[in-house]
A and B are shown apart, each in its own frame.
Chain A
Protein backbone atom coordinates (compact mmCIF):
# COMPACT_ATOMS: atom_id res chain seq x y z
CA UNK A 1 0.00 0.00 0.00
CA UNK A 2 2.74 2.45 1.02
CA UNK A 3 4.69 1.52 -2.10
CA UNK A 4 1.76 2.36 -4.38
CA UNK A 5 1.00 5.51 -2.40
CA UNK A 6 4.60 6.57 -2.88
CA UNK A 7 4.36 6.19 -6.67
CA UNK A 8 1.03 8.06 -6.70
CA UNK A 9 2.47 10.89 -4.61
CA UNK A 10 5.31 11.35 -7.09
CA UNK A 11 2.90 11.25 -9.99
CA UNK A 12 0.52 13.73 -8.32
CA UNK A 13 3.42 16.07 -7.59
CA UNK A 14 4.54 16.03 -11.25
CA UNK A 15 0.93 16.53 -12.35
CA UNK A 16 0.54 19.45 -9.96
CA UNK A 17 3.60 21.15 -11.46
CA UNK A 18 2.18 20.65 -14.98
CA UNK A 19 -1.18 22.00 -13.81
CA UNK A 20 0.48 25.13 -12.43
CA UNK A 21 2.31 25.64 -15.74
CA UNK A 22 -0.97 25.19 -17.63
CA UNK A 23 -2.65 27.78 -15.42
CA UNK A 24 0.22 30.20 -15.85
CA UNK A 25 -0.10 29.80 -19.62
CA UNK A 26 -3.88 30.22 -19.56
CA UNK A 27 -4.08 33.18 -17.21
CA UNK A 28 -1.02 34.94 -18.48
CA UNK A 29 -2.22 38.47 -19.21
CA UNK A 30 -5.70 38.26 -17.68
CA UNK A 31 -8.59 35.93 -17.03
CA UNK A 32 -9.91 34.39 -20.23
CA UNK A 33 -13.35 32.88 -20.41
CA UNK A 34 -13.18 30.89 -23.58
CA UNK A 35 -16.66 29.41 -23.06
CA UNK A 36 -18.20 32.88 -23.35
CA UNK A 37 -16.08 33.89 -26.34
CA UNK A 38 -18.22 34.97 -29.29
CA UNK A 39 -17.04 32.15 -31.56
CA UNK A 40 -17.86 29.50 -28.90
CA UNK A 41 -21.44 30.69 -28.32
CA UNK A 42 -23.83 28.34 -30.01
CA UNK A 43 -20.96 26.05 -31.00
CA UNK A 44 -22.16 22.56 -31.86
CA UNK A 45 -18.79 20.83 -31.91
CA UNK A 46 -18.18 20.35 -28.15
CA UNK A 47 -15.48 18.39 -26.32
CA UNK A 48 -16.06 14.60 -26.42
CA UNK A 49 -15.93 13.08 -22.96
CA UNK A 50 -14.36 9.90 -24.32
CA UNK A 51 -11.38 12.02 -25.38
CA UNK A 52 -11.10 13.20 -21.78
CA UNK A 53 -11.37 9.62 -20.55
CA UNK A 54 -8.55 8.63 -22.83
CA UNK A 55 -6.54 11.69 -21.77
CA UNK A 56 -7.02 10.67 -18.15
CA UNK A 57 -5.48 7.34 -18.99
CA UNK A 58 -2.12 9.03 -19.27
CA UNK A 59 -2.09 8.57 -15.47
CA UNK A 60 -2.38 4.76 -15.40
CA UNK A 61 0.00 4.55 -18.36
CA UNK A 62 2.66 6.57 -16.58
CA UNK A 63 2.39 4.80 -13.24
CA UNK A 64 1.74 1.24 -14.47
CA UNK A 65 5.35 0.54 -15.41
CA UNK A 66 6.61 1.93 -12.09
CA UNK A 67 4.09 -0.10 -10.11
CA UNK A 68 4.76 -3.27 -12.09
CA UNK A 69 8.47 -3.16 -11.25
CA UNK A 70 7.63 -3.24 -7.52
CA UNK A 71 6.82 -6.94 -7.39
CA UNK A 72 10.19 -7.80 -8.90
CA UNK A 73 11.93 -5.73 -6.24
CA UNK A 74 10.44 -7.82 -3.42
CA UNK A 75 13.30 -10.31 -3.48
CA UNK A 76 15.55 -7.56 -2.14
CA UNK A 77 13.40 -7.56 0.97
CA UNK A 78 12.86 -11.32 1.03
CA UNK A 79 13.78 -11.41 4.72
CA UNK A 80 10.53 -9.56 5.41
CA UNK A 81 8.42 -10.17 2.31
CA UNK A 82 8.90 -13.93 2.05
CA UNK A 83 8.94 -14.78 5.74
CA UNK A 84 5.33 -13.85 6.36
CA UNK A 85 2.77 -16.62 6.86
CA UNK A 86 1.27 -15.80 3.46
CA UNK A 87 1.69 -17.89 0.29
CA UNK A 88 3.80 -16.15 -2.33
CA UNK A 89 0.92 -16.13 -4.78
CA UNK A 90 -1.13 -14.47 -2.05
CA UNK A 91 1.57 -11.81 -1.68
CA UNK A 92 1.51 -11.27 -5.45
CA UNK A 93 -2.30 -11.08 -5.46
CA UNK A 94 -2.21 -8.38 -2.79
CA UNK A 95 0.31 -6.46 -4.84
CA UNK A 96 -1.86 -6.65 -7.93
CA UNK A 97 -5.04 -5.59 -6.12
CA UNK A 98 -3.25 -2.58 -4.60
CA UNK A 99 -1.75 -1.73 -8.00
CA UNK A 100 -5.15 -1.99 -9.71
CA UNK A 101 -6.60 0.48 -7.20
CA UNK A 102 -3.57 2.73 -7.71
CA UNK A 103 -4.06 2.64 -11.50
CA UNK A 104 -7.69 3.69 -11.09
CA UNK A 105 -6.65 6.42 -8.66
CA UNK A 106 -4.06 7.68 -11.17
CA UNK A 107 -6.72 7.76 -13.85
CA UNK A 108 -9.15 9.70 -11.63
CA UNK A 109 -6.47 12.17 -10.56
CA UNK A 110 -5.49 12.79 -14.19
CA UNK A 111 -9.11 13.15 -15.27
CA UNK A 112 -9.68 15.74 -12.55
CA UNK A 113 -6.46 17.47 -13.61
CA UNK A 114 -7.85 17.64 -17.15
CA UNK A 115 -11.22 18.98 -15.98
CA UNK A 116 -9.86 21.74 -13.73
CA UNK A 117 -8.49 23.95 -16.56
CA UNK A 118 -11.69 23.35 -18.56
CA UNK A 119 -13.75 24.46 -15.58
CA UNK A 120 -11.53 27.48 -15.03
CA UNK A 121 -11.99 28.59 -18.62
CA UNK A 122 -15.71 27.90 -18.79
CA UNK A 123 -15.46 24.98 -21.19
CA UNK A 124 -17.12 22.33 -19.01
CA UNK A 125 -20.53 22.98 -20.53
CA UNK A 126 -19.19 22.05 -23.97
CA UNK A 127 -18.36 18.50 -22.93
CA UNK A 128 -20.47 16.00 -24.84
CA UNK A 129 -21.00 12.49 -23.56
CA UNK A 130 -21.78 9.50 -25.74
CA UNK A 131 -22.31 6.61 -23.30
CA UNK A 132 -21.24 3.80 -25.64
CA UNK A 133 -18.11 5.59 -26.82
CA UNK A 134 -17.20 6.75 -23.29
CA UNK A 135 -17.35 3.18 -21.98
CA UNK A 136 -15.29 1.88 -24.89
CA UNK A 137 -12.69 4.58 -24.44
CA UNK A 138 -12.41 3.70 -20.78
CA UNK A 139 -12.07 -0.01 -21.55
CA UNK A 140 -9.45 0.60 -24.23
CA UNK A 141 -7.39 2.95 -22.08
CA UNK A 142 -7.45 0.78 -18.98
CA UNK A 143 -6.72 -2.29 -21.11
CA UNK A 144 -3.61 -0.59 -22.48
CA UNK A 145 -2.44 0.23 -18.94
CA UNK A 146 -3.15 -3.35 -17.80
CA UNK A 147 -1.25 -4.71 -20.80
CA UNK A 148 1.75 -2.54 -20.07
CA UNK A 149 1.65 -3.56 -16.41
CA UNK A 150 1.41 -7.25 -17.32
CA UNK A 151 4.24 -7.11 -19.85
CA UNK A 152 6.56 -5.47 -17.31
CA UNK A 153 5.56 -8.05 -14.64
CA UNK A 154 6.27 -11.05 -16.88
CA UNK A 155 9.46 -9.62 -18.39
CA UNK A 156 10.80 -8.76 -14.93
CA UNK A 157 9.89 -12.28 -13.77
CA UNK A 158 11.99 -13.65 -16.64
CA UNK A 159 14.84 -11.23 -15.82
CA UNK A 160 14.87 -11.30 -12.01
CA UNK A 161 16.22 -8.23 -10.32
CA UNK A 162 15.94 -6.07 -13.42
CA UNK A 163 12.39 -4.81 -12.94
CA UNK A 164 13.44 -1.16 -12.87
CA UNK A 165 15.41 -1.50 -16.10
CA UNK A 166 12.56 -3.40 -17.76
CA UNK A 167 10.10 -0.66 -16.79
CA UNK A 168 12.45 2.03 -18.11
CA UNK A 169 13.20 0.24 -21.38
CA UNK A 170 9.52 -0.45 -21.95
CA UNK A 171 8.98 3.30 -22.44
CA UNK A 172 11.55 3.53 -25.19
CA UNK A 173 10.52 0.33 -26.94
CA UNK A 174 6.79 0.99 -26.78
CA UNK A 175 7.15 4.56 -28.01
CA UNK A 176 9.48 3.70 -30.89
CA UNK A 177 7.77 0.56 -32.24
CA UNK A 178 4.62 2.24 -33.63
CA UNK A 179 6.78 4.78 -35.46
CA UNK A 180 8.86 2.02 -37.03
CA UNK A 181 5.68 0.54 -38.49
CA UNK A 182 5.46 3.58 -40.79
CA UNK A 183 9.13 3.52 -41.78
CA UNK A 184 10.04 2.37 -45.33
CA UNK A 185 11.51 -1.00 -44.40
CA UNK A 186 11.51 -4.08 -46.65
CA UNK A 187 8.28 -6.08 -46.45
CA UNK A 188 9.65 -8.81 -44.15
CA UNK A 189 11.02 -6.35 -41.59
CA UNK A 190 7.81 -4.35 -41.80
CA UNK A 191 5.80 -7.49 -41.01
CA UNK A 192 8.08 -8.35 -38.09
CA UNK A 193 7.59 -4.83 -36.72
CA UNK A 194 3.82 -5.14 -37.09
CA UNK A 195 3.95 -8.51 -35.31
CA UNK A 196 6.01 -6.98 -32.47
CA UNK A 197 3.50 -4.17 -32.24
CA UNK A 198 0.88 -6.71 -31.16
CA UNK A 199 2.86 -6.75 -27.91
CA UNK A 200 3.01 -2.96 -27.77
CA UNK A 201 0.22 -1.34 -25.74
CA UNK A 202 0.51 1.93 -27.68
CA UNK A 203 -0.21 0.11 -30.94
CA UNK A 204 -3.81 -0.39 -29.77
CA UNK A 205 -4.46 3.34 -29.51
CA UNK A 206 -6.74 4.89 -32.08
CA UNK A 207 -10.27 6.14 -32.66
CA UNK A 208 -12.98 4.29 -30.79
CA UNK A 209 -15.89 4.73 -33.21
CA UNK A 210 -14.33 3.29 -36.30
CA UNK A 211 -10.83 4.68 -36.68
CA UNK A 212 -8.06 2.48 -37.92
CA UNK A 213 -4.60 2.06 -36.49
CA UNK A 214 -1.35 0.33 -37.37
CA UNK A 215 -2.61 -3.11 -36.38
CA UNK A 216 -5.70 -2.76 -38.57
CA UNK A 217 -7.90 -4.45 -35.96
CA UNK A 218 -11.64 -3.99 -35.47
CA UNK A 219 -12.41 -1.73 -32.47
CA UNK A 220 -13.89 -4.63 -30.47
CA UNK A 221 -10.71 -6.68 -30.88
CA UNK A 222 -8.56 -3.63 -30.26
CA UNK A 223 -10.34 -3.13 -26.93
CA UNK A 224 -10.32 -6.78 -25.83
CA UNK A 225 -6.80 -7.87 -26.89
CA UNK A 226 -4.87 -5.58 -24.49
CA UNK A 227 -6.98 -6.92 -21.62
CA UNK A 228 -6.41 -10.54 -22.66
CA UNK A 229 -2.65 -10.06 -23.15
CA UNK A 230 -2.34 -8.02 -19.96
CA UNK A 231 -4.21 -10.47 -17.73
CA UNK A 232 -2.41 -13.48 -19.24
CA UNK A 233 0.94 -11.77 -18.68
CA UNK A 234 0.07 -10.91 -15.07
CA UNK A 235 -1.04 -14.49 -14.32
CA UNK A 236 2.04 -16.05 -15.96
CA UNK A 237 4.37 -13.42 -14.47
CA UNK A 238 3.14 -13.94 -10.91
CA UNK A 239 3.42 -17.73 -11.30
CA UNK A 240 7.04 -17.30 -12.36
CA UNK A 241 7.66 -14.77 -9.60
CA UNK A 242 6.26 -17.10 -6.93
CA UNK A 243 8.74 -19.82 -7.97
CA UNK A 244 11.80 -17.64 -8.26
CA UNK A 245 14.87 -17.96 -6.10
CA UNK A 246 16.82 -15.27 -4.33
CA UNK A 247 20.04 -14.92 -6.36
CA UNK A 248 23.22 -16.55 -5.01
Chain B
Protein backbone atom coordinates (compact mmCIF):
# COMPACT_ATOMS: atom_id res chain seq x y z
CA UNK B 1 0.00 0.00 0.00
CA UNK B 2 1.13 3.55 -0.60
CA UNK B 3 3.10 5.13 2.15
CA UNK B 4 1.76 8.45 3.27
CA UNK B 5 3.69 11.17 1.56
CA UNK B 6 4.84 9.24 -1.46
CA UNK B 7 2.93 9.17 -4.69
CA UNK B 8 2.26 5.58 -5.57
CA UNK B 9 3.02 4.63 -9.17
CA UNK B 10 -0.36 3.62 -10.61
CA UNK B 11 -2.43 6.52 -9.36
CA UNK B 12 0.60 8.66 -9.91
CA UNK B 13 0.98 8.47 -13.67
CA UNK B 14 -1.98 10.50 -14.80
CA UNK B 15 -1.84 12.72 -11.75
CA UNK B 16 1.86 13.28 -12.22
CA UNK B 17 1.39 14.11 -15.86
CA UNK B 18 -1.26 16.69 -15.21
CA UNK B 19 0.71 18.09 -12.32
CA UNK B 20 3.72 18.41 -14.56
CA UNK B 21 1.62 20.22 -17.17
CA UNK B 22 0.35 22.56 -14.49
CA UNK B 23 3.83 23.26 -13.23
CA UNK B 24 4.96 23.94 -16.78
CA UNK B 25 2.07 26.32 -17.26
CA UNK B 26 3.04 28.10 -14.08
CA UNK B 27 6.78 28.29 -14.27
CA UNK B 28 7.73 28.24 -17.94
CA UNK B 29 6.13 31.59 -18.80
CA UNK B 30 8.27 33.32 -16.22
CA UNK B 31 11.37 31.58 -17.49
CA UNK B 32 10.62 32.57 -21.07
CA UNK B 33 10.21 36.16 -20.01
CA UNK B 34 13.48 36.18 -18.13
CA UNK B 35 15.37 34.65 -21.04
CA UNK B 36 13.77 36.89 -23.64
CA UNK B 37 14.80 39.96 -21.70
CA UNK B 38 18.35 39.39 -22.81
CA UNK B 39 17.61 39.14 -26.52
CA UNK B 40 19.20 42.03 -28.37
CA UNK B 41 16.60 42.23 -31.16
CA UNK B 42 13.47 44.24 -30.61
CA UNK B 43 11.25 41.48 -31.90
CA UNK B 44 11.52 39.63 -28.64
CA UNK B 45 12.50 36.34 -30.13
CA UNK B 46 12.71 33.08 -28.32
CA UNK B 47 15.09 31.30 -28.26
CA UNK B 48 17.13 34.48 -27.97
CA UNK B 49 19.59 35.32 -30.68
CA UNK B 50 22.17 36.87 -28.46
CA UNK B 51 22.79 38.48 -25.12
CA UNK B 52 22.25 42.10 -24.30
CA UNK B 53 21.37 44.24 -21.35
CA UNK B 54 20.08 47.16 -23.36
CA UNK B 55 16.48 46.56 -22.44
CA UNK B 56 17.26 46.73 -18.75
CA UNK B 57 19.03 50.00 -19.26
CA UNK B 58 16.12 51.29 -21.28
CA UNK B 59 13.67 50.23 -18.63
CA UNK B 60 15.55 51.88 -15.82
CA UNK B 61 16.14 55.04 -17.77
CA UNK B 62 12.62 55.58 -18.92
CA UNK B 63 11.06 58.30 -16.86
CA UNK B 64 7.54 57.08 -17.40
CA UNK B 65 8.40 53.79 -15.75
CA UNK B 66 10.17 55.41 -12.85
CA UNK B 67 7.25 57.71 -12.17
CA UNK B 68 4.79 54.88 -12.57
CA UNK B 69 6.78 52.76 -10.14
CA UNK B 70 6.81 55.59 -7.63
CA UNK B 71 3.09 56.01 -7.96
CA UNK B 72 2.47 52.29 -7.59
CA UNK B 73 4.58 52.13 -4.46
CA UNK B 74 2.94 55.18 -2.89
CA UNK B 75 -0.54 53.94 -3.66
CA UNK B 76 0.16 50.38 -2.54
CA UNK B 77 1.75 51.48 0.72
CA UNK B 78 -1.00 53.92 1.62
CA UNK B 79 -3.84 51.68 0.51
CA UNK B 80 -2.52 48.69 2.44
CA UNK B 81 -1.92 50.84 5.50
CA UNK B 82 -5.56 51.89 5.42
CA UNK B 83 -6.80 48.40 4.62
CA UNK B 84 -4.73 46.74 7.33
CA UNK B 85 -5.73 49.27 9.98
CA UNK B 86 -9.41 49.06 9.15
CA UNK B 87 -9.15 45.31 8.69
CA UNK B 88 -7.40 44.70 12.02
CA UNK B 89 -10.02 46.60 13.99
CA UNK B 90 -12.81 44.90 12.08
CA UNK B 91 -11.26 41.47 12.68
CA UNK B 92 -11.06 42.11 16.41
CA UNK B 93 -14.67 43.20 16.39
CA UNK B 94 -15.85 40.14 14.52
CA UNK B 95 -13.77 37.55 16.34
CA UNK B 96 -14.07 38.79 19.91
CA UNK B 97 -17.54 40.30 20.07
CA UNK B 98 -21.06 39.05 19.66
CA UNK B 99 -23.74 41.32 18.25
CA UNK B 100 -26.70 41.35 15.93
CA UNK B 101 -25.61 41.44 12.32
CA UNK B 102 -22.22 39.88 13.01
CA UNK B 103 -22.68 37.35 10.25
CA UNK B 104 -23.79 40.03 7.87
CA UNK B 105 -20.68 42.03 8.62
CA UNK B 106 -18.46 39.00 8.06
CA UNK B 107 -19.97 38.48 4.61
CA UNK B 108 -19.89 42.18 3.82
CA UNK B 109 -16.19 42.35 4.62
CA UNK B 110 -15.52 39.79 1.91
CA UNK B 111 -17.69 41.55 -0.64
CA UNK B 112 -15.02 43.51 -2.53
CA UNK B 113 -13.24 40.26 -3.22
CA UNK B 114 -16.39 38.61 -4.52
CA UNK B 115 -17.50 41.29 -6.92
CA UNK B 116 -15.90 41.38 -10.38
CA UNK B 117 -13.44 44.19 -10.80
CA UNK B 118 -15.26 45.62 -13.80
CA UNK B 119 -18.20 46.44 -11.53
CA UNK B 120 -15.89 47.97 -8.95
CA UNK B 121 -13.96 49.93 -11.53
CA UNK B 122 -17.03 51.23 -13.25
CA UNK B 123 -18.75 51.92 -9.97
CA UNK B 124 -15.91 53.95 -8.53
CA UNK B 125 -15.56 55.85 -11.78
CA UNK B 126 -19.22 56.83 -11.78
CA UNK B 127 -19.20 57.53 -8.05
CA UNK B 128 -16.14 59.74 -8.04
CA UNK B 129 -17.34 61.58 -11.12
CA UNK B 130 -20.67 62.24 -9.43
CA UNK B 131 -18.88 63.46 -6.32
CA UNK B 132 -16.62 65.62 -8.46
CA UNK B 133 -13.51 63.95 -7.12
CA UNK B 134 -11.04 64.55 -9.91
CA UNK B 135 -7.71 63.79 -8.27
CA UNK B 136 -7.11 60.38 -9.77
CA UNK B 137 -4.42 59.41 -7.26
CA UNK B 138 -6.84 59.82 -4.38
CA UNK B 139 -9.51 57.91 -6.25
CA UNK B 140 -7.16 55.06 -7.04
CA UNK B 141 -5.96 55.03 -3.46
CA UNK B 142 -9.45 54.77 -2.00
CA UNK B 143 -10.46 52.11 -4.49
CA UNK B 144 -7.37 50.07 -3.67
CA UNK B 145 -8.02 50.34 0.05
CA UNK B 146 -11.50 48.95 -0.47
CA UNK B 147 -10.25 46.16 -2.72
CA UNK B 148 -7.44 45.00 -0.48
CA UNK B 149 -9.33 45.12 2.81
CA UNK B 150 -10.90 41.64 2.46
CA UNK B 151 -7.46 40.08 2.09
CA UNK B 152 -6.24 41.82 5.22
CA UNK B 153 -9.35 40.78 7.13
CA UNK B 154 -8.98 37.15 6.10
CA UNK B 155 -5.38 36.83 7.15
CA UNK B 156 -5.79 38.67 10.44
CA UNK B 157 -8.99 36.85 11.35
CA UNK B 158 -7.32 33.50 10.79
CA UNK B 159 -4.45 34.59 13.01
CA UNK B 160 -6.65 36.04 15.74
CA UNK B 161 -8.72 32.91 15.96
CA UNK B 162 -5.68 30.96 17.06
CA UNK B 163 -5.22 33.26 20.03
CA UNK B 164 -7.29 32.41 23.09
CA UNK B 165 -9.35 35.32 24.45
CA UNK B 166 -8.19 34.42 27.93
CA UNK B 167 -5.02 36.47 27.58
CA UNK B 168 -7.17 39.54 27.10
CA UNK B 169 -9.23 38.56 30.12
CA UNK B 170 -6.07 38.02 32.13
CA UNK B 171 -4.89 41.49 31.18
CA UNK B 172 -8.25 42.89 32.21
CA UNK B 173 -8.14 41.16 35.58
CA UNK B 174 -4.65 42.54 36.12
CA UNK B 175 -6.02 46.02 35.59
CA UNK B 176 -5.51 46.81 31.92
CA UNK B 177 -8.09 49.02 30.26
CA UNK B 178 -9.31 48.35 26.69
CA UNK B 179 -6.69 50.55 25.02
CA UNK B 180 -3.80 49.07 26.97
CA UNK B 181 -5.06 45.57 26.23
CA UNK B 182 -5.33 46.39 22.54
CA UNK B 183 -1.88 47.88 22.14
CA UNK B 184 0.17 45.90 24.64
CA UNK B 185 -1.46 42.48 24.32
CA UNK B 186 -3.71 41.91 21.30
CA UNK B 187 -1.78 43.70 18.58
CA UNK B 188 1.68 42.38 19.52
CA UNK B 189 0.37 38.85 19.62
CA UNK B 190 -1.13 39.05 16.13
CA UNK B 191 1.88 40.87 14.74
CA UNK B 192 2.77 38.06 12.28
CA UNK B 193 -0.76 38.19 10.94
CA UNK B 194 -0.64 41.94 10.55
CA UNK B 195 2.63 41.78 8.67
CA UNK B 196 1.33 39.05 6.38
CA UNK B 197 -1.81 41.09 5.78
CA UNK B 198 0.28 44.12 4.93
CA UNK B 199 2.34 42.16 2.41
CA UNK B 200 -0.77 40.64 0.84
CA UNK B 201 -2.52 43.98 0.59
CA UNK B 202 0.54 45.66 -0.85
CA UNK B 203 0.86 43.05 -3.55
CA UNK B 204 -2.82 43.07 -4.42
CA UNK B 205 -2.76 46.83 -4.75
CA UNK B 206 0.48 46.95 -6.69
CA UNK B 207 -0.74 44.30 -9.07
CA UNK B 208 -4.15 45.78 -9.72
CA UNK B 209 -4.97 46.60 -13.31
CA UNK B 210 -8.68 46.61 -14.02
CA UNK B 211 -10.02 48.96 -11.40
CA UNK B 212 -7.02 51.23 -11.79
CA UNK B 213 -7.56 51.39 -15.55
CA UNK B 214 -11.02 52.79 -15.03
CA UNK B 215 -9.79 55.47 -12.68
CA UNK B 216 -6.56 56.56 -14.33
CA UNK B 217 -6.41 59.97 -16.04
CA UNK B 218 -2.87 60.97 -17.02
CA UNK B 219 -0.26 59.25 -14.92
CA UNK B 220 -0.72 55.58 -14.33
CA UNK B 221 0.55 52.92 -12.00
CA UNK B 222 3.24 50.57 -13.19
CA UNK B 223 0.92 47.87 -14.56
CA UNK B 224 -0.92 50.49 -16.59
CA UNK B 225 2.30 51.94 -17.89
CA UNK B 226 3.57 48.50 -18.84
CA UNK B 227 0.37 47.80 -20.72
CA UNK B 228 0.69 51.04 -22.68
CA UNK B 229 4.23 50.17 -23.58
CA UNK B 230 3.24 46.71 -24.78
CA UNK B 231 0.63 48.26 -26.99
CA UNK B 232 2.87 50.95 -28.40
CA UNK B 233 6.40 49.59 -28.60
CA UNK B 234 6.29 45.92 -27.64
CA UNK B 235 10.02 45.42 -27.36
CA UNK B 236 11.78 43.32 -24.72
CA UNK B 237 11.97 46.27 -22.35
CA UNK B 238 8.81 44.75 -21.01
CA UNK B 239 10.60 41.47 -20.49
CA UNK B 240 13.29 43.31 -18.57
CA UNK B 241 10.78 44.99 -16.27
CA UNK B 242 8.90 41.75 -15.90
CA UNK B 243 12.07 40.00 -14.80
CA UNK B 244 12.72 42.67 -12.21
CA UNK B 245 9.14 42.37 -11.01
CA UNK B 246 9.41 38.59 -10.85
CA UNK B 247 12.39 39.01 -8.57
CA UNK B 248 10.37 41.39 -6.42
CA UNK B 249 7.49 38.93 -6.34
CA UNK B 250 9.78 36.14 -5.23
CA UNK B 251 10.95 38.30 -2.37
CA UNK B 252 7.36 38.98 -1.43
CA UNK B 253 6.49 35.30 -1.57
CA UNK B 254 9.39 34.30 0.63
CA UNK B 255 8.56 37.04 3.11
CA UNK B 256 4.92 36.05 3.32
CA UNK B 257 5.64 32.37 3.65
CA UNK B 258 7.95 33.15 6.50
CA UNK B 259 5.30 35.09 8.34
CA UNK B 260 2.18 33.17 7.54
CA UNK B 261 3.36 29.64 7.01
CA UNK B 262 2.53 27.26 4.21
CA UNK B 263 -0.36 25.53 5.91
CA UNK B 264 -2.43 28.58 6.39
CA UNK B 265 -2.10 29.69 2.78
CA UNK B 266 -2.98 26.38 1.24
CA UNK B 267 -5.64 25.67 3.80
CA UNK B 268 -4.08 22.41 4.88
CA UNK B 269 -3.70 23.69 8.41
CA UNK B 270 -5.08 21.41 11.03
CA UNK B 271 -4.64 18.24 9.02
CA UNK B 272 -2.44 15.35 10.03
Same assembly: no
Give A residues with C-beta under 8 Å from B.
none
